[in-house]
Structures are given as C-alpha cells and as structure tokens.
C-alpha cells in the first residue's frame, strides 16, 4: 500500500477533498491531507484564488511543502489544482519519491528543476475544456511536455469544463468522471505502493 501526501485546492480543505482522502484510506493507503490554508475554506474558486494571491503563492507553496517535514521518504505526492504545485515540487525535489498525481494542475518541470526525476511515475488528470487547465499556453502544455519528457507518465483528459470535478462537495462535481478518475488513481497507487 502507498503512503500519500494529498494537497487541497484553492477553495481549501473541503469536505470533498476529505472524502477523497477517506476513499484512498478505505482502499488501504495511508493518506496525509494537511490544511495549508489554516482552516479557511471558500465557497467560490475565485475567492480561494484571491486568498492565495493576497497571501502570496510562494508563501502558500512553502506552507504546503512544509507538511512533508517529518514524513518518511517513499511518498506519493498528490494535489488538486493549486495543490498540484507543492505535489509537483516535492515529487521533483524530495528523495525517494514513489510517484506523483497532479489533478487539474501542472506547471513546467523547469519550475522545480531541470527535468522530471528518472523512475518517478506521474499521472495528470483534468477536464479537456477546463478553462483553468486547458487554455493554450497554460497547464495543459506543461502537462503534455511533462508526459513527453518522463519515462513513466500519463495525461488523462475527461470531457467537460469543470475544474474541480472530483470534489464531491462542490457544484462542479462530475460523478461519472470522478468515478473513472478515482478508479485510475487507485490503480496508480496499487502499482507504486
């Protein structure tokens, strides 16, 4: 079984993110789901992004990354949207990484190093018409470049435009896509665990 450090999205550690963590735990995985927003949640994505901007993306990133301190090597790093940044940073920079799962977010590999680490599998999951992810020149291009450069990588695109489609507590939740997404995530964890 895998040990996962799961980072929430810009709306905070919502009930949907907690429920997803519980789904992974129910499958036998150890899951750490820290709150790097210090208890704040937001009903609207723009409000959550506004909080991250006002706090400073660098500050938010370092708060999230700090949650890895004291945890063992050999983790899988996962994150939703804004949470994909610390997941990707740790996957690229922390020794012993078992894998990375980036949900509705991906930045260029050059943000955190020269190349994706050899032998670290990665999956990226997003909606194919999500304006936060799929806009030309945005996260989708970084995701495609990562898949090309890594030796074990996959990009899964689901039909639709909902950004946080796998968070069951939000109006953007897409039950059908979330079920397939969860199935694929569990298969990935079984493979690397």
pLDDT tens for the chain, 193 residues long, are: 999 999 999 999 999 999 999 999 999 999 999 999 999 999 999 999 999 999 999 999 999 999 999 999 999 999 999 999 999 999 999 999 999 999 999 999 999 998 999 999 999 999 999 999 998 777 999 999 999 999 999 999 999 999 999 999 999 999 999 999 999 999 999 999 8
Domain of residue 82, CATH code: 3.40.50.1820
**pLDDT at residue 137, rounded to an integer:** 73
Tokens of 122: 């990665």
Structural domain harbouring 115: 3-192
In the numeric block, the tokens 């090309």 are attached to 148
Q: What is the residue-wise DSSP string for 124-168?
A: EEEETT-TTTSSTTSHHHHHHHHHHHSSSEEEEEESS--TTTT-T
> Which uninterrupted H or E stretch holds 65?
helix 57-66
**pLDDT at residue 135, rounded to an integer:** 85
Domain count, the chain: 1
Report, in angstroms and rounded to the nearest whole number, the Rg of the chain calculated over CA atoms. 15
For 103-113, b where at least 16 C-beta lie within 10 A, e where not — what string? Answer: bbbbbebeebe
**pLDDT at residue 138, rounded to an integer:** 79
How far apart CA 76 and CA 131 sit, in angstroms, is 27
How far apart CA 159 and CA 92 sit, in angstroms, is 29
In this structure, is the dihedral angle defined by the CA atoms of residues 73, 124, 78 and 88, taken in order, positive or negative? positive
**pLDDT at residue 136, rounded to an integer:** 76
| SS3 label, residue 15 | helix
How many Cα atoms occupy the beta-carbon half-sphere of 64 within 13 Å? 31
How far apart CA 57 and CA 193 sit, in angstroms, is 31
**DSSP state letter for 41:** B
**pLDDT at residue 42, rounded to an integer:** 97
Tokens of 69: 């301190």
């Amino acid at each position: 079984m895998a040990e996962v450090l799961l980072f929430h999205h810009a709306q905070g550690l919502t009930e949907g993110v907690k429920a997803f963590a519980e789904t992974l735990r129910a499958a036998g995985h150890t899951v750490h789901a820290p709150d790097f927003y210090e208890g704040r949640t937001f009903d609207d994505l723009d409000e959550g992004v506004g909080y991250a901007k006002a706090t400073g993306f660098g500050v938010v990133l370092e708060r999230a990354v700090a949650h890895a301190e004291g945890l063992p090597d050999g983790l899988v790093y996962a994150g939703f949207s804004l949470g994909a940044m610390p997941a990707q940073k740790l996957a690229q920079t922390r020794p012993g990484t078992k894998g990375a799962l980036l949900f509705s977010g991906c930045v260029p590999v050059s943000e955190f190093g020269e190349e994706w680490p050899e032998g670290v599998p990665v999956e990226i999951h997003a909606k194919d018409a999500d304006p936060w992810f799929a806009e030309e020149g945005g996260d989708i291009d970084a995701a495609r470049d990562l898949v090309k450069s890594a030796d074990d990588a996959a990009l899964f695109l689901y039909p639709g435009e909902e950004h946080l489609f796998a968070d069951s507590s939000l109006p953007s939740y897409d039950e059908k896509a979330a079920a397939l997404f969860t199935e694929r995530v569990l298969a990935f964890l079984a493979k690397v665990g």
